[in-house]
Amino acid sequence: MKENKNNLISSYDLMERIKSSDQLALRMLYGRLWEQMYVLAFSILRDEAVSKDIVQEIWIDLWERRNKILNQNIEAYLIRATRFKVFKVLR
Protein backbone atom coordinates (compact mmCIF):
# COMPACT_ATOMS: atom_id res chain seq x y z
CA MET A 1 0.00 0.00 0.00
CA LYS A 2 1.35 3.38 -1.00
CA GLU A 3 1.35 5.99 1.78
CA ASN A 4 0.08 9.42 0.88
CA LYS A 5 2.83 12.04 1.29
CA ASN A 6 0.10 14.39 2.44
CA ASN A 7 -0.21 12.41 5.69
CA LEU A 8 3.51 12.44 6.51
CA ILE A 9 3.29 16.01 7.78
CA SER A 10 1.22 16.52 10.92
CA SER A 11 -1.78 18.80 10.84
CA TYR A 12 -0.07 20.89 13.51
CA ASP A 13 2.95 21.40 11.25
CA LEU A 14 0.75 22.17 8.26
CA MET A 15 -1.10 24.81 10.27
CA GLU A 16 2.19 26.36 11.35
CA ARG A 17 3.18 26.57 7.69
CA ILE A 18 -0.22 28.02 6.79
CA LYS A 19 0.35 30.74 9.39
CA SER A 20 3.49 31.59 7.40
CA SER A 21 1.29 32.00 4.29
CA ASP A 22 2.31 28.65 2.79
CA GLN A 23 -0.39 27.93 0.19
CA LEU A 24 0.95 24.43 -0.48
CA ALA A 25 0.38 23.57 3.19
CA LEU A 26 -3.18 24.90 2.89
CA ARG A 27 -3.79 22.69 -0.15
CA MET A 28 -2.38 19.68 1.70
CA LEU A 29 -4.60 20.24 4.74
CA TYR A 30 -7.55 20.89 2.41
CA GLY A 31 -6.90 17.59 0.65
CA ARG A 32 -6.78 15.81 3.96
CA LEU A 33 -9.97 17.27 5.50
CA TRP A 34 -12.26 18.53 2.73
CA GLU A 35 -14.16 15.29 2.23
CA GLN A 36 -14.82 14.79 5.95
CA MET A 37 -16.16 18.34 6.23
CA TYR A 38 -18.30 17.99 3.11
CA VAL A 39 -19.77 14.64 4.19
CA LEU A 40 -20.71 16.13 7.56
CA ALA A 41 -22.42 19.13 5.95
CA PHE A 42 -24.18 17.02 3.32
CA SER A 43 -25.36 14.42 5.84
CA ILE A 44 -27.33 17.14 7.62
CA LEU A 45 -28.37 19.42 4.75
CA ARG A 46 -28.83 16.92 1.90
CA ASP A 47 -27.92 19.72 -0.49
CA GLU A 48 -24.73 19.26 -2.47
CA ALA A 49 -24.29 22.88 -3.57
CA VAL A 50 -24.95 24.42 -0.16
CA SER A 51 -22.69 21.85 1.52
CA LYS A 52 -19.85 22.64 -0.87
CA ASP A 53 -20.37 26.38 -0.37
CA ILE A 54 -20.24 26.02 3.41
CA VAL A 55 -17.01 24.05 3.30
CA GLN A 56 -15.47 26.51 0.84
CA GLU A 57 -16.41 29.45 3.10
CA ILE A 58 -14.71 27.76 6.04
CA TRP A 59 -11.47 27.29 4.07
CA ILE A 60 -11.52 30.90 2.92
CA ASP A 61 -12.09 32.01 6.51
CA LEU A 62 -9.24 29.79 7.70
CA TRP A 63 -6.86 31.41 5.20
CA GLU A 64 -7.99 34.94 6.04
CA ARG A 65 -7.76 34.34 9.80
CA ARG A 66 -4.75 31.99 9.74
CA ASN A 67 -2.71 34.09 12.17
CA LYS A 68 -5.52 34.36 14.71
CA ILE A 69 -6.46 30.68 14.92
CA LEU A 70 -4.91 28.67 17.73
CA ASN A 71 -3.10 25.62 16.46
CA GLN A 72 -4.09 23.04 19.02
CA ASN A 73 -6.36 20.71 17.06
CA ILE A 74 -7.11 22.10 13.63
CA GLU A 75 -9.20 19.07 12.63
CA ALA A 76 -11.57 19.60 15.57
CA TYR A 77 -11.69 23.33 14.83
CA LEU A 78 -12.69 22.73 11.21
CA ILE A 79 -15.33 20.13 12.10
CA ARG A 80 -16.83 22.48 14.71
CA ALA A 81 -16.80 25.30 12.18
CA THR A 82 -18.62 23.06 9.70
CA ARG A 83 -21.31 22.13 12.22
CA PHE A 84 -21.73 25.75 13.26
CA LYS A 85 -22.19 26.96 9.67
CA VAL A 86 -24.56 24.09 8.84
CA PHE A 87 -26.79 24.86 11.81
CA LYS A 88 -26.63 28.57 11.00
CA VAL A 89 -28.01 27.76 7.53
CA LEU A 90 -30.81 25.70 9.10
CA ARG A 91 -31.99 28.57 11.34
Query: Which pLDDT score, from 0 to 100, does residue 27 have?
Result: 98
pLDDT tens column, 24-79: 999 999 999 999 999 999 999 999 999 999 999 999 999 999 999 988 899 999 99
At 2, the pLDDT band (50, 70, 90 cuts) reads very low
Q: Give the CATH number, domain containing residue 84.
A: 1.10.1740.10
CB 59, CB 36: distance < 8 Å: no
Query: With 70 as the cut, is the pLDDT of residue 11 above it?
Result: yes
Q: Which domain does 72 fall in, by range?
A: 5-90
Q: Would you put residue 21 in left (φ > 0), alpha (ψ -120 to 50) or beta?
A: left
Query: Which pLDDT score, from 0 to 100, does residue 1 have?
Result: 35
Number of domains in the chain: 1
* Complete DSSP assignment for 22-69: -HHHHHHHHHHHHHHHHHHHHHHH--HHHHHHHHHHHHHHHHHTTTTS
Of the chain, the end-to-end C-alpha distance in Å amounts to: 44
